[in-house]
A and B are shown apart, each in its own frame.
Chain A
Amino acid sequence: GENVEQHPSTLSVQEGDSAVIKCTYSDSASNYFPWYKQELGKGPQLIIDIRSNVGEKKDQRIAVTLNKTAKHFSLHITETQPEDSAVYFCASLSDYKLSFGAGTTVTVRA
C-alpha cells in the first residue's frame, strides 16, 4: 500500500516567518495530494490540495508544490500568524483511499 512520510514532526516558528513541511509518497499512481489542518478537538480541515498535473498551487499565504518525479510535495505557509498553530497532515490519494502522513505540530510564537 501507499506509504506517506512527513517531516518535521514538530516545527516552531516566530510570528511572521515562513513554515515549510515536506512529504514523500511511494505509490507512483497517486494523483491527488491534499493538506489538512487539525485543531484541538476538531476534525481535519482541508486547507489546500494539488493534483498530479499541476506543479504548484497558491492560496493567499499557503502554497503547495509537487514533484512527481521525486515523489515529494511540500506545504509553505508565509507570514505565519498565531492562528496557524495546529497539526498539519499531508495525504496522498490512491484508488479513492487517502493515506496520511504522521502530522506536523506547528507552533507560531508571538
Chain B
Amino acid sequence: DAGVIQSPRHEVTEMGQEVTLRCKPISGHDYLFWYRQTMMRGLELLIYFNNNVPIDDSGMPEDRFSAKMPNASFSTLKIQPSEPRDSAVYFCASSPQGGQPQHFGDGTRLSIL
C-alpha cells in the first residue's frame, strides 16, 4: 500500500521566494496533519484537517504560512515570502477516522538561503 507521499523531498530557495510543499495522504484517511521538525523545537504541529476542512491552525507560526486541502487526496503548505528561519523538515501525516494512528511521509527538507 502506498504511504503518505510528499514532494519535493528537498527544496532550496532564496529568501523572499514562495515555497509550496505538497502532500498526498493515504487513501481513505480522514485526517491530515502538517508538522515542522527542527533541532531547536523538535516536532511541532502546524495545522490539521478533518474531511478537507481546517480544524486547528494554532500552530501556524505566521501569516506567511498557509495550508489548503482542496480534495481528499491532496494538500499544500505554502510559505510566502520565505525566510531563512523557515528552514526545517516539513512532514505531512494522515490518519483514519478517529485521528490515530498517524502515518508520516518522509518529509520535505527546506533550506531558505
Using a CB–CB cutoff of 8 Å, the interface residues on chain A facing chain B are 32, 34, 36, 41-46, 49, 89, 93, 96-103
A36, A42, A96: most-surrounded residue (chain B CB, <10 A): A96
Q: How far is the CA of A41 from the CA of B105 in the complex (A)?
A: 11
Contact B101 A49 (CB under 8 A): yes
Contact of B43 among A32, A45, A89, A93 (CB under 8 A): A89
Q: Contact: B103 with A46, CB < 8 Å? A: yes
Q: Is the interface of A mostly helix, strand, loop or mixed?
A: strand
Cβ-defined partner of B100 (8 Å) among A45, A89, A93, A103:
A93
Given A96-B55, A96-B99: A44 and B42 interface contact (C-beta under 8 Å):
no
How many whole Å from B91's CB to the nearest CB in chain A? 5
Interface pairs (29), CB distance under 8 Å: A34-B101, A36-B104, A41-B106, A42-B107, A43-B4, A43-B93, A43-B106, A43-B107, A44-B91, A44-B104, A45-B104, A46-B101, A46-B103, A49-B100, A49-B101, A93-B99, A96-B31, A96-B55, A96-B56, A97-B45, A97-B48, A97-B56, A98-B33, A98-B45, A99-B45, A100-B42, A100-B43, A102-B42, A103-B42
